[in-house]
Chain A
């Protein structure tokens, strides 16, 4: 006989409220049903009252952790609508901002994950290193979390030599630190015991379920928006997709750690190749038509759809966020695991509920 128990919306491992109804048979999960809607803010409707330039700031506030990339993707969508070419320097600045965001998001996740399986000192260690990146972001963009670095038509902040120097130094200190915690995540007996072979998703299943981001790549699919023709600049910087092979929690963790190193490499390359010139172009007029823009957030692929009708306000803004894409795959991972392992599996998709519900 099975029992249905509620898991969440308030749970010690969840940073945000997501509720799962778990069907349990003797401590083993048989089925799961998600229920969303606890933090819905109606942002897509709210943009009716704001013009398309102000909407950038609303998009940035969809989520705190991926805020920079939300803003950049929205700006790119509007630029596509206007058919504007952004100056090259601004594109590089956007790459630097996105990758620094990715580093801080992954370090945050590694910390939460460590906390999820009860390894508290490792959690503190990850968050300690994250502070260094937040300092860099503060010096670069002016804020630690919501950056407002991007704007429609380019970037709002430039980098000077002193800041470049600061970023490089911070990355030089961060790299050995991440190597240290990598050793723990990869070799530690306790961590392995909790993660290896847990929440397995096969390559084919992950692809068919429409999974996104490190969850998809952890299962062996080398799919990353940064490696598509949309993003020429990443190819110039020598981007290589990080891929896992086993499709379990351990593999997803390793993909995220590899991505931190990849991001460090990208920021370094972007800084060394940073071209001179303008950082933004003026954008005038009111948008008409439709555009779709994709980007790779720390959690996976985000899609922005914008529709303008010739007025200052957009007629429609639709965002499809990575966690939303990952929830079906989460439900596929859960059957068959023990109840005690559910928090770990939920954490490995890096759920970002405020993104999902907007």
Chain B
């Protein structure tokens, strides 16, 4: 009896599913979609690298490279909260799967202003 009602209600209502590739679900603004890195203020202090539980961020001070391996990132937002310069933010938009720029490095090279660092040895 109960099930019959459910079935009748379902027959007479619109489908609840979407035609996925054509109709994409909107995410809410609170959703954790992907990491956005703004290189302007970064001082390459490496706090984000230390805080990251998934070892997804690599900061190489000598070469001024801030690198994010998107496949390792677990969206915990530790780096967002930890960064003293607020240069990491989180966007509610999902990363496009397979798009070239998201596969390995989000921001390949940072030409950081800030301080002298003309040394080039020791990059480990």
Contact = CB atoms under 8 A, between A and B. Distances in A.
B32 A142 contact: yes
Interface in A2-24: none
A83 interface: no
Interface stretch (B61-69, B71-79, B95-103, B104-112): B71-79
A138 B31 CA distance: 6
Nearest to A146: B74
A183 B5 CA distance: 10
Given A50-B53, A57-B53, A148-B76, A142 B6 contact: no
Instruction: Give the 8 A-B CB pairs with smallest separation, nearest first.
Output: A183-B2, A54-B53, A142-B32, A184-B2, A57-B53, A139-B28, A184-B3, A148-B76
Contacts of B7: 121
A57 B77 CA distance: 11
B53 A187 contact: no
B27 interface: yes
Interface in B30-88: 30-32, 51, 53-54, 74-78, 81
Q: Which of A50, A125, A142, A181 gathers most chain B CB within 10 Å?
A: A142
A135 B32 CA distance: 13
B16 interface: yes
A121 B6 contact: yes
A203 to B, nearest CB: 30
B6 A143 contact: no
A138 B30 contact: yes
A294 to B, nearest CB: 25
Which of under 10, 10 to 19, 20 to 34, or 35 or more describes the interface residues of A? 20 to 34
A281 B1 CA distance: 53
Nearest to A180: B6
A127 B66 CA distance: 41
Interface string A205-247: 0000000000000000000000000000000000000000000
Interface of B: 1-3, 5-7, 10, 16, 27-28, 30-32, 51, 53-54, 74-78, 81, 90
Given A125-B6, A184-B2, A148 B31 contact: no
Interface of A: 50, 53-54, 57-58, 61, 121-122, 125, 128, 131, 135, 138-140, 142-143, 146, 148, 156-157, 163, 180-181, 183-184, 187-188
A181 B54 CA distance: 40
A221 B55 CA distance: 45
Contacts of B54: 57
Contacts of B74: 57, 61, 146
Given A121-B3, A146-B74, A139 B53 contact: no
Nearest to A125: B6
Given A54-B53, A184-B3, A142 B76 contact: no
